[in-house]
Amino acid sequence: MELTIDRLETVIIDVPLRRPHRFARVTMTAQPVLLAFVHTRDGITGVGEGVVPGGPWWGGESVESMKVTLDTYVAPLLAGRRVDDIASLWQDISDHVNANLYAKCAVEVALHDAWARSLGVPVHVLLGGLARTSIDVTWALGAEPEEVVVDEALAKLRSGEHRTFKLKMGALPPEEDTRRVCAIAEKLTGTAGVRVDLNARWDFTTAKTYLPRLAAAGVELVEQPVPGEQVEALAELNRLLPIPVMADESLRTPVDALRLVSLRAADIWSMKTTKVGGLRRARDIVAIAAAAGIPCHAGTSIETGIGTAASLHLACAAPGVTWGSELFGPLLFAEEVLRTPLSYRDGALQLPGGPGLGVELDLDAVAALRRPQLMKEA
Ligand SMILES: [Mg+2]
């Protein structure tokens, strides 16, 4: 089998959501997604997804910046190389492009998909085999008023789809937000687990003031209350609170991972293939966590079925991902981009079989969702 790469192709699609998803400062109604296709000379195509939660607010990258980075600086490095040359390609890409981990993830996953398809094996084989074949999925509730959130959570509980819920916080003043979430937690505690994600919006003093009230109301976990770079503050909150603190924005690289370990800054880590630059970096970071006795949770950047399948392969192959997942991305979309949707059963996402990522893009759906190309300036 000829493994030589012919070209890298990138396409932006805009996928509408079933309901608006509200973060602290940004509300999404559609998710922009960059699809990266690695085509081999033998006609095999691997696909990866570059996606950030609703725009550049999370980590600075956007689908537009990813497209320029990949088309201009990464595509020329791939042509003529082999899809199984991933370690060396990663080095070359990193030598030419600093940071831009979301863009790198899109290519890194596409290389794995193409390589696995060339061999006729699933991507998890390239990651060392399986630790599990499904993973529990928590549901993220938007930063909406109490009644809206409780109704949505109760409907999910009744249908048996999810048993734990993550609430976004940070859109309201802290006192009002805390009262809203305490009221929700008191209604759901006992029947469902309630977690909160501040998305790095509070300063240390605000967090120290309000987080103990959330814990007392039954919230079982607090994700990233303070800015990502403020790891010492995160560590102090982790010591202060009776419930686990989860690191998300504070964890992008293996060096971040070592710092989190040395400060014991978080009891649980949110692992996303997207934010760390792909499957191998994610696997490396999970290994660091496991060595430190820290469980990982498979996080999402609101990926479609492609990115979700990639994260699922990693979550099933990395033994240290023992704290479930929030891989609900496809459930939030109003349009399906896969020919066969991923399977959610009994609150868990099931690993698909088949070569590569085990999922096939619906190319008609992709064509319909494709963003029109801007006219070139005269
Ligand atoms: Mg988060």
| 13 and 156 belong to one structural domain | no
Q: From CA 198, how far away is CA 178, in angstroms rounded?
A: 11
- Cα of 249 from ligand 1 centre, angstroms: 7
| 246 and 319 belong to one structural domain | yes
- Cα of 324 from ligand 1 centre, angstroms: 14
| 166 and 265 belong to one structural domain | yes
Nearest Cα neighbor of 326 from 311, 342, 310 is 311
- Cα of 344 from ligand 1 centre, angstroms: 22
Residue 269 falls within a domain, yes or no?
A: yes
- Cα of 225 from ligand 1 centre, angstroms: 9
| 329 and 203 belong to one structural domain | yes
Residue 356 falls within a domain, yes or no?
A: no
| 57 and 146 belong to one structural domain | no
Instruction: State the alpha helices, DSSP H only, in 174-278.
Output: 174-188, 204-216, 231-240, 254-263, 273-276
Nearest Cα neighbor of 200 from 166, 248, 154, 232 is 248
Note the pLDDT of residue 82.
98
The question of whether 326 is a catalytic residue gets the answer: yes
Q: What is the CA radius of gyration of the chain?
A: 20
| 254 and 271 belong to one structural domain | yes
Which amino acid is residue 198, in one-letter code?
A: L
Question: Residue 327 is part of which domain span?
Answer: 126-350
Residue 355 falls within a domain, yes or no?
A: no
* Active-site residue identified among 67, 104, 168, 272: 168
- Cα of 333 from ligand 1 centre, angstroms: 19
- Cα of 368 from ligand 1 centre, angstroms: 30
- Cα of 340 from ligand 1 centre, angstroms: 28
The question of whether 146 is a catalytic residue gets the answer: no
Residue 231: CATH number of its domain: 3.20.20.120
Contact in structure between 137 and 343 (CB atoms under 8 Å): no
| 113 and 192 belong to one structural domain | no
pTM for the full predicted model: 0.96
- Cα of 128 from ligand 1 centre, angstroms: 27
Note the pLDDT of residue 374.
65
**CB neighbour burial string for 55-83, b if at least 16 within 10 angstroms, e if fewer:** beebbebbbebbbebbeeebbebbeebbb
Residue 227 falls within a domain, yes or no?
A: yes
Residue 261, phi then psi, degrees to nearest 5? -65, -50
- Write out the residues surrounding ion ligand 1, Cβ under 5 A: 197, 248
Note the pLDDT of residue 377.
47
Contact in structure between 275 and 252 (CB atoms under 8 Å): yes
Q: Which residues of the chain have pLDDT under 70?
A: 374-378
**How many structural domains compose the chain?**
2
Contact in structure between 112 and 46 (CB atoms under 8 Å): yes
| 256 and 135 belong to one structural domain | yes
| 79 and 133 belong to one structural domain | no
Question: What residues contact residue 81 under an 8 Å CB cut-off, 6+ apart?
Answer: 4, 5, 89
Note the pLDDT of residue 131.
98
* Active-site residue identified among 49, 144, 223, 326: 326
* Token pair 């599990």: residue: 132
- Cα of 268 from ligand 1 centre, angstroms: 12
